[in-house]
Amino acid sequence: MSIRDRAWFPIIYMFVITLLLSAVLILFGSATRQRVKNNERIAYERAVIQSLPIDLPARLSTSQIHQIYITNVYDTTEASAGALRYIKHDTLVGYALPIQGPGFWAPIKGVIGIAADGKTITGVSFYEQNETPGLGGEITKMEFREQFVGKQISQSGMPVQFRAATDPLDENSVHAITGATQTSNRLSRFLNEQLAIWRERITARQ
């Protein structure tokens, strides 16, 4: 009776194969763990920096991003009400408020930058989203994001209004994405909710 005909052989065989393959995966996984972690970190840091009023070269290497982040971006304090602080030459230049909420397919995570006056928006950036490319995915495009630059956070009601593409804009409103009503609505809801909370807290501190 050959070894292959024994009743225990399939079990041992499966066990050995599983062991072998998972060993390789675990090895590869741990070899790249730091890298994956860094990637996530850099994506976040990039979003923070993009939302702030910083003159950036067109292509930024990951080390440059990290450099700027560790020199100029400071953790949140009581006074900044949950937002990161961007400090240059010992003066506060702006805030970066991380926001997140449900998107159409998956959560959207991003950062909204606000100038030191606590009213002027300096930019928005998203580091995690899974919206439909070409529709909701347009929130990551410059055309959508740069609308926010220079807008004023309305001091009552909705901080930033999302309007239909055909409607005229004022200093508190931006155009929603045509064809991506759901993404626009959900983004508008959580962005405004979280911005409104921050608005209350920051005015209370000032």
Partner 1 sequence: MKKGKPRILMKQAIMRRMILAMIPSIIAAIYFFGWRSLFVVLVSCAVGFLTEYIFAHRRNEPVTEAVFVSAIIYALILPPTIAWHILIIGMVFAIMFGKMVFGGFGNNIFNPAMSGRAFIYICFPVAMTATWAPAAQGTWGALTTWSTGLAPDAITSATPMALLKAGQTAPHLLDLLIGRLSGTMGVTSVIAILLGGIYVFYTKTANRRIIITIIIFYALANGFLALIKAPGAAGLLPALMGGGFLFGAFFMATDPISAPRTRPAQIVYAAIIAVSTTIIRSFSVFNGGFMFSLLLANMFAPILDYGFKLRSKRKGNAGEKLRTKSEH
Partner 2 sequence: MIAQKKTGDVILTAVWGDNPVFRQILGICSALAVTNLVLNTIVMGTAVMFTTALSGLTVSLLRKWTPRIIRMMVEVLVIAFYVILFDRALKAYWPDMSRNLGPYVGLIITNCIIMGRAEAFANANPPGLSFVDGFFSGLGYALILLCVAVIRELLGMGTLLGIPIPFFSSALWDRWIIMVMPPGAFFTLAVIVWLARTVQRSKQVTSGGNK
Applying CB under 8 A, the residues found at the interface with partner 1 are 165-166, 178-179, 181
Number of residues located near partner 2, criterion CB under 8 A: 27
- Nearer CB in complex with partner 1: 38/181: 181
Q: What is the 3-state secondary structure (H, E, C) of the chain?
A: CCHHHCCCHHHHHHHHHHHHHHHHHHHHHHHHHHHHHHHHHHHHHHHHHHHCCCCCCCCCCHHHHHHHHHHHEECCCCCCCCCEEEEECCEEEEEEEEEEEECCCCEEEEEEEEECCCCEEEEEEEEECCCCCCCHHHHHCHHHHHHHCCCECCCCCCCCEEECCCCCCCCCEEECCCCCHHHHHHHHHHHHHHHHHHHHHHHHHC
Of 153-182, which residues contact partner 2 (CB under 8 A)?
179
Is position 24 an interface residue for partner 2 (rule: CB under 8 A)?
A: yes
Q: Which stretch binds partner 2 (CB under 8 A): 26-34, 91-99, 154-162, 197-205?
A: 26-34
Q: Which stretch binds partner 2 (CB under 8 A): 11-19, 76-84, 90-98, 115-123?
A: 11-19
- Nearer CB in complex with partner 1: 115/177: 177
Is position 19 an interface residue for partner 2 (rule: CB under 8 A)?
A: no
| Residue 165 interacts with, from partner 2, partner 1, none (CB under 5-8 Å by kind) | partner 1
From the list 124, 130, 163, the residue with the least C-alpha distance to 144 is 124
- Nearer CB in complex with partner 2: 39/203: 39
Is position 102 an interface residue for partner 2 (rule: CB under 8 A)?
A: no
Q: Which stretch binds partner 2 (CB under 8 A): 10-18, 50-58, 188-196, 198-206?
A: 10-18
Q: Which stretch binds partner 2 (CB under 8 A): 4-12, 149-157, 165-173, 186-194?
A: 4-12
CB of 109 to partner 1, least distance (A): 25
| Residue 128 interacts with, from partner 2, partner 1, none (CB under 5-8 Å by kind) | partner 2
Cα–chain-centroid distance for residue 35? 19
- Nearer CB in complex with partner 1: 43/135: 135
Cα–chain-centroid distance for residue 67? 19
